[in-house]
Homo-oligomer: A and B are copies of this chain.
Amino acid sequence: MDKALLLYSGGLDTSVMIKWIQENLSMDVATLTLNVGNSDLVAIEEKARMLGADPVFVHDAKDEFAEKFIAKSIMANGSYEGYPLSTALARPLMAEKAVKYAQKIGAKYIVHGSTGRGNDQVRFEVSIRALDPSMQVLVPVREWNMMRKDEVEYAKTHGIPVKLDGKYSIDENIWGRSVEGPDLEDIGKGVPEDVYEWVVPPWKANAEHTLKIAFDGGIPSEIDGEKMKLADLIVFLNTLAGSSGIGLIDHMENRVVGLKSHEVYECPAATVITHAHRYLESLILNRNEAEVKMNMDWQFAKFVYGGLWHDPVMNAVNAAEAEFNRDISGEIKIRMSHGIMYIEGAWGNSFLYSKDLINYSSMAFDQRASKGFIDIYGNATVHSHNRNPKMVKEVQGSSVEF
């Protein structure tokens, strides 16, 4: 009998799939559950076994997620039109693990629980095929005709515990919490307050915090002088910054499949780290680097959002980002209060910013050079007006009011 490896979350959809694949496709179902956030691996493992999955794999991947995926996004200020790429970063990791476990057990099929309307199907399937073109992907939600009540019915008749999800569709990992659902679809209304779980809404957030984040080569490495593993540092900041109201994102998004969707993200750690990283960059990188990096950051976000983590173009993007981050070391002191971050100081050995150069009474910058600079800098613009002197004529011809 053929084997299928199911990416199993423990929720209703993927629980139904275990039975459905056994029944309809006559395959043995193995499950793989990855923890990149706060999953209860023990309970999920037990449930999978109870539903007849075999083997049942569970795998804590938080550190790998932080060090191989989130770290690259921090270096690139990962932001797709304002979205910090949380779910988008986890999908390629899941695809890698799924391929690895499927190959291990000789499964020819990988099954995922995403729908046919979203981005995640794209991310899973492109990565899986890129890693192993012989692997086939099954997507029951795209094929079957079950509505929610059919699923519940099916679950009941097949002995699957039904714990109904809330009214929102949610994906979580340590880099962020993504929320969508019918209550967000009426754009004539604001975001309902019950969406928020990680972040105390700013108008209620009374906890003010000030801390120092140290970066080493673009990656946050210490909080207030204490070295932390990246995953731990992120989890710590999620709590702290969330309590100060930091990290709410109300986002109108262009999905890969060409739909616009209204999403809410809660990303306290991502918000703080990116703000500090950008500020440090602004002190260190010169304007040539800043302009080229701005474009590279966009490429990074566009490809990752679009499910192309495993495209070879990412080797070049990441190589450039690594260079841009080589000197991004230093410390940023940041105050978080009612949803806003204030920079309270910055220290480092590689700052391009120099108090001595900028000071008005400084002699390090000879302002008499400016005349020659401007004359030549402006040449291309000025000469262009010889080409078309209309504008000057308009100025000359216009009436002057006193």
Query: A357-394, CB under 8 A of B: which get 1 and which 0?
Result: 11111000111111111111111111111111001100
Question: Are B130 and A378 neighbours in the complex by a CB distance under 8 Å?
Answer: yes
A188, A284, A312, A401: most-surrounded residue (chain B CB, <10 A): A312
Question: Are B340 and A396 neighbours in the complex by a CB distance under 8 Å?
Answer: no
Question: Are B360 and A369 neighbours in the complex by a CB distance under 8 Å?
Answer: no
By beta carbon, the residue of chain B nearest A59 is: B401
Question: Are A395 and B344 neighbours in the complex by a CB distance under 8 Å?
Answer: no
Query: A327-341, CB under 8 A of B: which get 1 and which 0?
Result: 100000101011110
Measured CB to CB, the closest approach of chain B to A348, in angstroms, equals 9
Instruction: Check A310 for interface membership: any CB of B closer than 8 A.
Output: yes
Residues of B within 8 A of A319 (CB): 319-320, 322-323
Instruction: Check A345 for interface membership: any CB of B closer than 8 A.
Output: yes
Question: Are B287 and A202 neighbours in the complex by a CB distance under 8 Å?
Answer: no
* Bound form: Cα–Cα A296–B320 in Å: 10
Say which residue of B292, B295, B321, B369 sits within 8 Å of A376 (CB atoms): B369
Copies in the complex: 4
Measured CB to CB, the closest approach of chain B to A265, in angstroms, equals 14
Which one, A120-128, A229-237, A266-274, is touching chain B? A120-128
Size bin of chain A's contact surface: 35 or more
A294-332: which have CB < 8 Å to B?
A: 294-296, 298-299, 302-303, 307-308, 310-313, 315-317, 319-324, 326-327
Measured CB to CB, the closest approach of chain B to A197, in angstroms, equals 18
Question: Are A313 and B340 neighbours in the complex by a CB distance under 8 Å?
Answer: no
* Bound form: Cα–Cα A284–B187 in Å: 12
Residues of B within 8 A of A291 (CB): 302
Instruction: Check A282 for interface membership: any CB of B closer than 8 A.
Output: yes
Residues of B within 8 A of A302 (CB): 291
Measured CB to CB, the closest approach of chain B to A30, in angstroms, equals 12
Say which residue of B327, B340, B347 sits within 8 Å of A339 (CB atoms): B340
Question: Are A391 and B310 neighbours in the complex by a CB distance under 8 Å?
Answer: yes
Say which residue of B104, B116, B182, B251 sits within 8 Å of A368 (CB atoms): B116
By beta carbon, the residue of chain B nearest A187 is: B346
Question: Are B292 and A352 neighbours in the complex by a CB distance under 8 Å?
Answer: no
Question: Are A374 and B282 neighbours in the complex by a CB distance under 8 Å?
Answer: no
Question: Are A352 and B382 neighbours in the complex by a CB distance under 8 Å?
Answer: no
Say which residue of B129, B290, B323, B371 sits within 8 Å of A142 (CB atoms): B371
Residues of B within 8 A of A122 (CB): 370, 373-374, 377-378
Q: Which residues of A contact B (CB under 8 A)?
A: 57, 59, 81, 96, 99-101, 103-104, 115-117, 121-122, 125-126, 129-133, 139, 141-143, 147, 169, 182, 185-191, 202-203, 208, 250-254, 256-262, 279, 282-296, 298-299, 302-303, 307-308, 310-313, 315-317, 319-324, 326-327, 333, 335, 337-340, 342-347, 350-355, 357-361, 365-388, 391-392, 395-396, 398, 400-402
Additional A-B contact list (20), CB under 8 Å, known A202-B340, A291-B302: A81-B282, A100-B396, A100-B398, A116-B370, A117-B360, A117-B365, A185-B355, A187-B283, A187-B345, A188-B347, A191-B343, A202-B338, A259-B365, A286-B313, A288-B381, A294-B298, A310-B385, A350-B387, A366-B375, A373-B377
